[in-house]
């Protein structure tokens, strides 16, 4: 799931201050789950901004709130149309996708980011997410017993481990487990240690032209299902 962090309050205030009527838009899916941009956080931010304003020398801001189910779907974004009519700016607490989607649809209005989108995260316990996937586009988790070396190895090596592991921990970050030790142990459990012997060619670390476009073959679409680089 996409995980983001709310921006510091003073940074948000700095962005929002020049605009008078601001609509704070929340997202009801990923941002709700990671506790950053759901309806509750929108309410909290709303009141924080009002409090800031009351203590500053300004007094002309009008904040309003609205949370849509997902900011990455055109149909849901369309539901903002009425609310946005008399506004001067939108402060979106959606992930980077949502912010851009809103900006594209309502391109006569400045759309400000309220969050820093960070990682694709795995929830381990309440409030803690670990980046276990970097969307490299070449998933080989079948070979590595379900543990991703691109995300979880500090060097991102594909034929690891390097010589620097110590007591199962990474030499560059002593708190991090060495991904390749984890992979080895689990392959052992699965009885698939022969996979350690296979050699993987290097990944293409040249700058990958972005944005990559993935067109899937879905009902009504006409793509070919290949990730084009």
Partner 1 sequence: MEALQIIRSDNPFPSVCAYICSHPCEEACRRKQVDKPVAIRALKRFAVEFGGDRMVRSEAKTIFPEKNAIIGSGPAGMSCAFYLRKLGYPVTVFEAHSEIGGMLRFGIPQYRLPKEVLDGEIRRMTGMGIEFRTSTPVVSLDLLFEMGYQAIFVSIGAQQSRRLGVEGENKPGIVDAITFLRETNLGLKPAIGENVVIIGGGNVAIDASRSALRLGAKTVNLVCLESRSEMPAFPTDIQYAEEEGVIINYSWGVKAILGKEVITGVELKRCVAAFDTDGKFNPAYDESITQVLLADTVITAIGQVPQIPESYGLKTRGSTILVDPVTLNTNRKGVFAGGDASSGPATAIQALANGRLAALRIDDYHRHRYPRSMEEESKSSIGELSSQTIQAIRKISRYEPPLVPPEKRKKVFQPVEKVYGWETAAEEARRCLRCGSGAEILFPDKCAACLTCLRVCPYSVPRIDQNFDIQIPADQCQACGICVTRCPAMAIALRKPWDRRYIDEEMERYHQKIKITGSKPLIIGFCCQYGLFGTSLLAGLWKTTGAGIWIIPVMCIAKVESYHFLKAFELGAEGVFLAGCGEQCSRENTITEAKAQIKRARSVLAELGFDINQLQAYLPEQKDNNPEGTPEKWLEEFIGHVGSLHLKSLLTVEEKVDRSKSETFK
Closest listed residue to residue 45, CA positions, set 35, 55, 58: 35
Of 167-186, binders to partner 1 (CB under 8 A) are none
Of 60-79, binders to partner 1 (CB under 8 A) are 67, 69
Of 137-166, binders to partner 1 (CB under 8 A) are none
Residues, the chain, total? Answer: 229
Q: Least distance in Å: CB of 54 to partner 1?
A: 5
State whether residue 39 is helix, strand or coil: helix
Dihedral over Cα of 79, 10, 117, 101: its sign: positive
Of 79-118, binders to partner 1 (CB under 8 A) are none
Under a CB-based contact definition with an 8 Å cutoff, are residues 142 and 134 in contact? no
State whether residue 93 is helix, strand or coil: coil
Q: Identify the residue among 47, 185, 189, 212 touching partner 1 (CB under 8 A).
A: 47
Q: Identify the residue among 43, 97, 133, 154 touching partner 1 (CB under 8 A).
A: 43
Q: Does 40 bind partner 1 (CB under 8 A)?
A: yes
**Residue 11 or 104 having the CB closest to partner 1:** 11
Cα dist from 74 to 30, 33, 214, whole Å? 16, 21, 18
Q: Does 134 bind partner 1 (CB under 8 A)?
A: no
**Residue 51 or 136 having the CB closest to partner 1:** 51
**69: phi > 0 → left, psi -120 to 50 → alpha, else beta; which?**
alpha
Q: How many whole angstroms separate alpha carbon 131 and alpha carbon 119?
A: 6
Q: Identify the residue among 51, 81, 141, 215 touching partner 1 (CB under 8 A).
A: 51
Give the per-residue contact string, 4-33, with partner 1 (x = CB under 8 A; - = no). ----xxx-----------------xx--xx
**Residue 106 or 129 having the CB closest to partner 1:** 129
Q: How many whole angstroms separate alpha carbon 139 and alpha carbon 43?
A: 39
**Residue 25 or 178 having the CB closest to partner 1:** 25
Q: What single-letter DSSP state applies at residue 191?
A: T
Under a CB-based contact definition with an 8 Å cutoff, are residues 124 and 132 in contact? no
**Residue 8 or 146 having the CB closest to partner 1:** 8
Contact positions vs partner 1 (CB under 8 A): 8-10, 28-29, 32-33, 35, 38-41, 43-44, 46-48, 50-52, 54-55, 67, 69, 125-126
């Amino acid at each position: 799931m996409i995980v983001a962090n709310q921006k510091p309050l003073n940074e948000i205030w700095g962005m929002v201050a020049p605009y008078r009527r601001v609509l704070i838009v929340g997202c009801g899916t990923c941002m709700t789950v990671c506790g950053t941009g759901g309806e509750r956080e929108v309410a909290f931010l709303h009141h924080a901004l009002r409090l800031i304003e009351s203590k500053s020398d300004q007094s002309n801001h009008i904040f309003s709130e609205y949370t849509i189910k997902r900011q990455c779907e055109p149909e849901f974004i369309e539901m903002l149309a009425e609310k946005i009519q008399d506004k001067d700016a939108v402060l979106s607490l959606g992930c980077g996708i949502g912010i851009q989607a809103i900006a594209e649809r309502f391109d006569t209005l400045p759309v400000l980011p309220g969050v820093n989108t960070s990682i694709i995260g795995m929830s381990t316990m309440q409030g803690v997410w670990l980046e276990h996937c970097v969307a490299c586009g070449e998933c080989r988790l079948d070979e590595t017993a379900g543990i991703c070396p691109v995300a979880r190895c500090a060097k991102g090596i594909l034929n690891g481990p390097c010589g620097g592991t110590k007591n199962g921990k990474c030499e560059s970050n002593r708190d991090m487990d060495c991904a390749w030790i984890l992979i080895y142990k689990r392959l052992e459990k699965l009885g698939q240690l022969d996979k350690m012997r296979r050699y993987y060619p290097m990944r293409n670390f040249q700058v990958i032209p972005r944005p990559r476009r993935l067109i899937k073959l879905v009902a009504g679409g006409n793509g070919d299902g290949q990730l084009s680089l």
